[in-house]
Structure 1
């Protein structure tokens, strides 16, 4: 603000401070005005309504003896070529139009505080959301009347303001409570059990002139929302507070009711909620969605992140919304259903990336064990599988299969789909015998019902071959993979994604059979075709590059392997994140290449990074974890770190596999 108002230009200066109620917008503006000596006259106007603004301008006019109407005051300001300032405070009403009260001239200064970010159209702006930590600690200790402050007091205060997300009004309320009950050391425990009461009740003594409590402030905004907008905000309270996107709801609106999912009757309320974003033809109406979300944003209860086109909620508002739900079970039912319906609509080609965006919301919803939603266990299990969260995927897929088996027999195609999904999950968990048994049953029954050439039968062959490959039964794997490649080429074409997926698996089998030239030739084809069709940064392209890297290494082409490995690690880290299982596999793989190049320091750096993460994600007995242990022990020995190598080798381990299985 200081920099902006210090600019010497021939234009009027207008600055808008917008943000959540209780964020300290007024206090910030008053502090700026107090510290500034550049203004010739300063006029304060309550901008809550048109009537209060009109009254304020009339008062200014009478004070200056320039007239008895707001228009007279505006005309006087236009005529005064001085550095005056008008402060419009609390211009929160979304229906309020300030334009007629803003002097139309090239001089003067205006500050506006508002919960409505749309007022940014008037000038420069800042979003006010919270205090800096040191300022927040000082405010809490001052509000709490803490005398002779110790380091322990400052540490406790730091923990408290962090829990309150540095929101000034919440900090002042907490300080007043601490002062009244001398409860600095007790506050965090009390807040954990009673945050609703503590943020709702106004203390009798306070360092703030603010009239309302935190929760009352937001309730006043909430009460002005339309019923549809109010319900939408309440649904948000069950989702993760960040990364809420239009895509989630638009996909849910296109739900096509698979036979093993909830019925239309079970989803009446979610469908009714989604219908407000659909036109007469049933198509998704983006404008209707934007209008509703903009209504909520006009009170800063929700903010929009234009970079990734997602919405987010302040953590305390998120908590308040859930605390004040009149019918939490009904709202949960709708939120749970919308996410389940949305998962079903994720295109397979974007499955991994989309799963990362939806996963935080699934994790948030799954915390509410006290509520019961419709049975979307198959869809939630699918998302956890895409996200490489295989234990959760297994539990949900077992549940879905058990439920469906009580309704249908084992030859039902939906039962076979759920068995197929569970078999693939067993394979990813390293439970290969369980996977083999289930996949053989699925394949036999699909062959009998659908025929040898049906796409679902070919999927079953594809995944059974994958399991044989991991079991080391390479001849069986090769035999089945050749069948899948041949049939998919004939039915789908040589460039189809599923054909390339089968070719990719065949390259791994060739490599393990020692047929490295065949593996290289086929691997190059898959990399080239996936890159041309999907793009160089698509996860399936990176998967093909990952396996080509291994082939190069086994051919002794270590520098080529390293160059490819660096690309895969960098791109997977960017797209998936550094802790995603596929990224960790790529890092481990690059470390093995460093070993072959005798670059053991680089190998150790990467291996010590990934091993604890493998243990956390997959457990100590998973093949990836076991191979990571073995590989790191080898690096330690090469570096002369005998004790470290001995400690690792003392653990039971066996050679695992670093092949990333892109099962369907």
Structure 2
């Protein structure tokens, strides 16, 4: 063998480096990439040559062509290398003996397989690289090529090294098992690779599109295996539904070791942010499978340094910043090669004839060839059946499906009925779940009492169940795959199967009506029995997220079963708490239409459904629509049942919430002042419903600027909740925050800070650091710290809170916007003014989309923006904006509301800057009077008005009066806040005070 161990050398004249040509089957590309990288780092020149063996060319001639390559040829020995064509082992042995044996020095080989290969492969003297680590594999590779082990590693190679193919990426999840029958598609795989690799950072999105059954999913899976060694993260997401997409992408968070709470919304935003930043991994591949409706998820597709592959029937992804690559049916040579590997008994001519009849559609080829191989039916006889022998009514199921599909399925279903008829029952049951991943374990876990006889027999007999599952898998009707990360365990136990959408549709269509009626009830019962019953418990959210996509296909909205209806209501509550507002609103709207027809408009469950639907609408920011729904429901219930009916009271509470969101505070107050005593009279002071009504009354008082009354009410609620629920109950902690907010708004900063600091510690212990309620507590603590002069702590907290809300609730939620307002104001005074301006403009734009014109939150955001314009020298623009805000706030809330008074303080300052000192002084004088009447002489806002008025008097050269007003204000500031408080020091330095608008979001 010494002749075969000739060192690698360059055969090209004047070549500067030794050359190795790597010949490999496309399936083994990860090995080729790793081997080539190892050699290049040792200073060798590498040429990659993907092996192809067209059946019309001789193997000997193809092997001789390899000898024309520069340097030595390294062959990657695997079953894939020898199966292309396909060729028999006898053909290979003949060619190897003819070409390689006489001149073994021209070839070297490594083996990357443990399967049987042609015996004459021994002429290549392959060294085995399997079942070992990367270091030992590299040592064997270099030894086989006689490259000295002490050859220095080149420092010029700075690119990331491909991963050793025997090791998985750091994060790998959800990818279907590799299809060992995958055939061809080499140009498509190469095109996909180069399109992604050549994309700019943030633009690496590619959609594989084509009709159903064409093999888009298989192509994406093969891409993951073939190129996965170049990524640190490979994550597969079933993307047919937004709710499923969100859940599965969110499950990447713990795999990336991201610090988040259990809620999907928060995890999802953390994942998208991590992928965008490329931290902790920049080499990531995300595969979104079955995303046929771009409008469902396009806004959630991550951007960043990694790559996204989308499989879809819909080429409209091209309108959403995605490159497009159409996946056609097989080329005829690919069809023939695939059929002959799937059905070895068929000749090449048979395979060509079958491929022509089935229009080269991969899914049909897979299923048909599979059972033809086990059958004695000839291809001619089968094609005769396709042409009308079994089903004269050959029609297209949809525009996506080839003409022969329904007939081919009739043949296959007959085959299934003849062998294991229960497999057809199981298949039909599956079509009442959503296509894709189907949790058939729910059928096994449900109660089997009163089930149809054939279904009960199937579910009660494990052997029969496994036989049915295996029969479906044998003919590629289903795949035993799981969308969870524990793929092998779930698949082997038959807990989840994958049913292609194309198969789902044809089976569902071709079903006897009796089976349809019986089977849909079975699936409805299975889903209802899987309901954990507590949608507010985050530990149950995995289950609800799994159930929700199947509600539509089981047509649960048409069921009169109370348990099924309870499932619908619980799913709506889950979608509310999990932040699935858009999907929840759609389900709620469909449910209302269906239940009103099914149960009648006044049925108790219709009113309960209306309540949950309105909550979802409100959470989605559709306040005006929600107000109309709640008002109509409340009025109808009051007329039908009386004002003390519990459903009426609940809808009235919802209406009050709508009115608060729409800034109709007086109308909300009227309802709250009626609801609280009504609940108290019905249930007593210590009932949780009574205390919830009292809490809402306090919140409305705060929105009205009646801070002392709000404080008194919130203190009463807090003390009652401590007695009823104990100190660490979430509602008790919530009341503590409300009370601390009141204290801060009253200017009692030290007390507020002390109470809020303790409360934040309790939130961390009870609710966790990332819970929405914890963020609310930390937001108030940040503002307490800011008012107390601790700017460093305040700044850190505000950044943390805003990021947390964006992850958890999105950037248009009222809590997120409130945190963004605080952060923008802080940046204006203590950070980057350009950043503050950009954030402020974004806040205004989002409020304009969310709220009606004239809403105090929108007006206040514009008032804050006027201060930014003042700071960058745009005085005239700032003056116009603040005057509009002052007029708008007075119209919305009245002239004595603290928000109006704050706008007036800022307006008086800007009037001075645009040379209107008289009107400025008059405005600050009137503002001081109104603030004193509303908030008291020593409230911080009143003190700011007094200091501002002194400055305005000084501008009018009324120095004596200015001195008097100023000294009295300084004296009160020192007595109220302390002589060393930041506000006192600032006033003493004659820095004109300003007011920041702060939206109150409960």
TM band (smaller chain): 0.5 to 0.7
TM-score between both structures, scaled by the size of structure 1: 0.60
Q: Cα offset for 1:642?
A: 3.2
Alignment correspondent of 1:4: 30
- Note if contact 1:465-1:480 (Cα within 8 Å) is conserved in structure 2: yes
How far apart in 2 are the matches of 1:644 and 1:339?
59
Change (3 A) 1:313 1:398: farther
How far apart in 1 are the matches of 2:643 and 2:664?
22
Question: Is 1:362 aligned to residue 388 of structure 2?
Answer: no
- Residue of structure 2 aligned with 1:508, choices 738, 741, 744: 741
Secondary structure of the structure 1 residue equivalent to 2:483: strand
Q: Cα offset for 1:629?
A: 1.0
Q: Cα offset for 1:476?
A: 2.3
Alignment correspondent of 1:622: 855
Secondary structure of the structure 1 residue equivalent to 2:769: coil
Q: Cα offset for 1:371?
A: 6.1
Q: Cα offset for 1:495?
A: 1.7
What is the correspondence of 1:330-345 to structure 2 with a 5 Å cutoff? Answer: 331=553, 333-334=555-556, 341=566, 344-345=569-570
Alignment correspondent of 1:151: none
Q: Cα offset for 1:491?
A: 1.7
Alignment correspondent of 1:645: 878
How far apart in 1 are the matches of 2:617 and 2:780?
24
Q: How many residues align?
A: 507
Question: Is 1:43 aligned to residue 383 of structure 2?
Answer: no
Q: Cα offset for 1:39?
A: 7.5
Alignment correspondent of 2:846: 613
Larger radius of gyration: 2
Question: Is 1:545 aligned to residue 817 of structure 2?
Answer: no
Alignment correspondent of 1:26: none
What is the correspondence of 1:430-579 to structure 2 with a 5 Å cutoff? Answer: 430-579=663-812
Change (3 A) 1:161 1:83: farther
Secondary structure of the structure 2 residue equivalent to 1:495: coil
Q: Cα offset for 1:456?
A: 0.8
- Note if contact 2:318-2:324 (Cα within 8 Å) is conserved in structure 1: no
- Note if contact 1:430-1:623 (Cα within 8 Å) is conserved in structure 2: yes
How far apart in 1 are the matches of 2:678 and 2:633?
19
Q: Cα offset for 1:437?
A: 1.9
- Residue of structure 2 aligned with 1:278, choices 407, 421, 446: 446
- Note if contact 2:851-2:858 (Cα within 8 Å) is conserved in structure 1: yes
Q: Cα offset for 1:471?
A: 0.9
How far apart in 1 are the matches of 2:842 and 2:649?
40
Question: Is 1:215 aligned to residue 401 of structure 2?
Answer: yes
Q: Cα offset for 1:537?
A: 1.0
- Note if contact 2:478-2:497 (Cα within 8 Å) is conserved in structure 1: no
- Note if contact 2:431-2:504 (Cα within 8 Å) is conserved in structure 1: no
Alignment correspondent of 2:58: none
Secondary structure of the structure 2 residue equivalent to 1:562: helix
Alignment correspondent of 2:656: 423
How far apart in 1 are the matches of 2:624 and 2:438?
27
- Note if contact 1:359-1:387 (Cα within 8 Å) is conserved in structure 2: yes
Change (3 A) 1:646 1:404: same
**Runs of 5+ in structure 1 lacking a partner?**
10-29, 46-55, 67-73, 85-115, 141-157, 174-201, 251-273
Alignment correspondent of 1:193: none
Q: Cα offset for 1:492?
A: 1.4
- Note if contact 1:302-1:313 (Cα within 8 Å) is conserved in structure 2: yes
Change (3 A) 1:596 1:300: farther
Q: Cα offset for 1:391?
A: 4.2
How far apart in 2 are the matches of 1:603 and 1:660?
20
Change (3 A) 1:616 1:277: farther
Q: Cα offset for 1:162?
A: 3.1
- Note if contact 2:581-2:620 (Cα within 8 Å) is conserved in structure 1: yes
**Runs of 5+ in structure 2 lacking a partner?**
1-26, 36-49, 55-61, 67-74, 95-113, 125-173, 197-205, 211-313, 331-354, 366-398, 417-422, 451-458, 461-465, 491-495, 511-515, 521-550, 597-605, 890-898, 901-996
TM-score between both structures, scaled by the size of structure 2: 0.41
- Note if contact 1:539-1:572 (Cα within 8 Å) is conserved in structure 2: yes
How far apart in 1 are the matches of 2:179 and 2:612?
43
What is the correspondence of 1:232-247 to structure 2 with a 5 Å cutoff? Answer: 236=434
Q: Cα offset for 1:134?
A: 6.6
Q: Using CA pairs below 8 Å that are at least 6 residues apart, which structure has the higher relative contact order?
A: 1
Q: Cα offset for 1:459?
A: 0.8
Alignment correspondent of 1:585: 818
- Note if contact 1:340-1:379 (Cα within 8 Å) is conserved in structure 2: no
- Note if contact 1:507-1:522 (Cα within 8 Å) is conserved in structure 2: yes
- Note if contact 1:474-1:513 (Cα within 8 Å) is conserved in structure 2: yes
What is the correspondence of 1:365-404 to structure 2 with a 5 Å cutoff? Answer: 365=587, 372-373=594-595, 375=606, 376-398=609-631, 400-402=633-635, 404=637
- Residue of structure 2 aligned with 1:633, choices 866, 888, 901: 866
How far apart in 1 are the matches of 2:207 and 2:683?
68
- Note if contact 1:343-1:380 (Cα within 8 Å) is conserved in structure 2: no
Question: Is 1:120 aligned to residue 178 of structure 2?
Answer: yes
What is the correspondence of 1:88-167 to structure 2 with a 5 Å cutoff? Answer: 119-120=177-178, 132=192, 162=318
Please report the RMSD computed on the Cα atoms of aligned residues, expressed in angstroms. 5.9
Q: Cα offset for 1:460?
A: 0.6
Q: Cα offset for 1:389?
A: 4.7
Q: Cα offset for 1:561?
A: 1.6
The superposition leaves residues 275-303 of structure 1 with CA deviations (integer Å, 9 ceiling, x where unpaired) of 77534699xxxx99xx9999999857998
- Note if contact 2:833-2:868 (Cα within 8 Å) is conserved in structure 1: yes
Secondary structure of the structure 2 residue equivalent to 1:372: helix
